[in-house]
Structure 1
Amino acid sequence: MSGTGTGKGTGKGKGRGRGKALGLAGWVAGVGAVLVALPLAAGARLPDRMATHWGGGVGDSGATPDGSMPFAQSLAFPLALWAVLALGVAAFAVTRARAASVLLPSGVLLAGAQAAIVRANLDHEDWRQADPLDGRVVAAVLAAAVLAAFAGVMIDRRGPVAAVSPAAGAPVMDIPAGERLVWLARTSNPWLRLTAAVLGAVAALAAVAGAGGLLGPAWQLVAPFGVASVAVLAFSSVRARVTAQGLEVGFGPLGWPVRRWAAADIESARAEDRTPAQVGGWGYRLGGLGTTVMLRAGECLVVRSRGKDFAVSVDDAARGAALLNSLVPGTRSTPQALS
């Protein structure tokens, strides 16, 4: 698009930035709570001094603990380390731009390490009797940290929202020659996000408690709550993007999975008001009106492709529809407008 776009994208970018900051603040608080709560929950089953370092290899039956800390210090040290890391990310602009990439895997590693230490010390009267570190727990923590790092990179890579200039409400937008076509809108449902967070917290606590030896077969809680959390989170927010190639709708905070419609496959587009009652509820709905991604009642972008309707509840749907209609064969007002 040209450089004469409105300030709408900047405002949405700031709003998304605030959402990211609040999410990371919740992550920092949650990890801190786990670091404290896990050893306290197992306090009656732990020695006064905790084994915190082992000689030899992980999972090696010959590895013996060769370092320890008082219980209070073993609780406070990782919490202080986490606080310093979080404050460092908040203080430096360069690091702050990569906050999710740093904080997500670091939190997983610290919480996993605390769980492994608690598990090894559990039900021993003296720290020298602590079990070797469980290689399965260590491997699971490292795998989870890698996934968290990937998610953090994807979150940090999300760029600002761009918008094109309004077109006086016309159903087909006149694109000046030499300008590129870009329109982007996002919508989220805070209640669905909260539901996903609660389900995810239950799964995470069960996983940490299981790794720490405080829970039996943790997968019985982790699996259903984890899958439910991911499913709800995937449809708690949506991003619609129009370019010269057509329409792209991404789901969830990472914009994935994605559905795409090529410009040549779109028959028409329109803005239409819909409610959850009309489409059968919230989230990804199938019904008599076609497919609807319903996150809030009101304006939806509706596209018809191959005789079927797909609707997504996003703001500024009329402008998105006008831009899509400008791509439909026979409606382009300027043949060289798209590049």
Structure 2
Amino acid sequence: MTGPRARSLEGVTDVGLRARFLSIAAGWAALVTAALIAAPLALRDRLPDPIATHWGPSGVPDNSMPFTASLLVQAGLWALLACGAWGVALAGGGMFRRRTSRMGLGALLGGAGLFFLGLQAVTLTANLDAPDWSRAADLGWGALLAVAGLVLGGWLGALAARPGPDDRPEPSAVPTRRIPLRPGQRAVWVSSVGSGPLAALGGSLLAAGLGLAVLALIGGEGALWIPAGIMSLVGLPVATFSSVRVQITEEGIVIFYGPFRLPRRHIPIERVERAWTEELLPSGVGGWGVRGLPGAMTIMIRGGECLVVGYVSGGRLAISIDDAERGAALLNTLVDRASTGPSAR
């Protein structure tokens, strides 16, 4: 573990890394805040006062706010979130030694910033040149702009925060356990874990989206397709990544997602170097779900013991799963067997 001013693995001090992150975060926060204030002011003469700020399922605006209040609420909410994230970064110097922590905070700032910008763009466009807030235009499929901004901004923010050290236990320092197997003996390890709240949330959103789609078909309300599409697009990944099932055999690792075990991912045994366990929390990896990028990914369903797979290429995959220690031990045994077998290179 390096000290606060020690050189990291990539030659950047922890203090310097934190200062760089804080500078970029402050610049991004200021840029988004300026855009949230400047855009409405530039279009002030073409907007009604009050302006429409909420649309019902039918696509008709059903609530409004005074122009000034709307501007202050959007800019204020973003500023509050950005200041909170900046404060966490300022106080938590140690967190910058973990790549996943930096990426999580970067994803929060990037995703929230583009979300607020997309939300404002959709709101201003709908209100533009409307004689009255109640006659503002439908949001249309442009409502997906905010959701797209959230996803894209989160991805870009994580990428921007990725460079730098990743202070984690070296695999060579972690005990490697194995399960004794007789020659020719076959073994399989299967385990699964799920999150009830995530499954309920995803299922509820999908059910609501399906219900609105049915109403749109029966009643001919075309505007209902917009909230139906949004709820389905959000609910599907939430339901899919609310549970995970892992199977380890001589062929490698198979990961199944969701109640229908789809999609699935296969990792050949030849790609695995070794396996071990680590105690990980959502706060340390950037939240729940599938976090990180290929080569440094974590599947976080619940905090606690995780199965960590080290690739021959140097990357790693962590999975929060029950009975992880036994799974790691069997995987190490099967890796040894594959490396010394007749097909080993």
Instruction: Name the structure with the higher helix share.
Output: 2
Give the TM interval when normalised to the shorter protein.
0.3 to 0.5
Q: Taking structure 1 as the reference length, what is the TM-score of the superposition? A: 0.46
Q: Taking structure 2 as the reference length, what is the TM-score of the superposition? A: 0.45
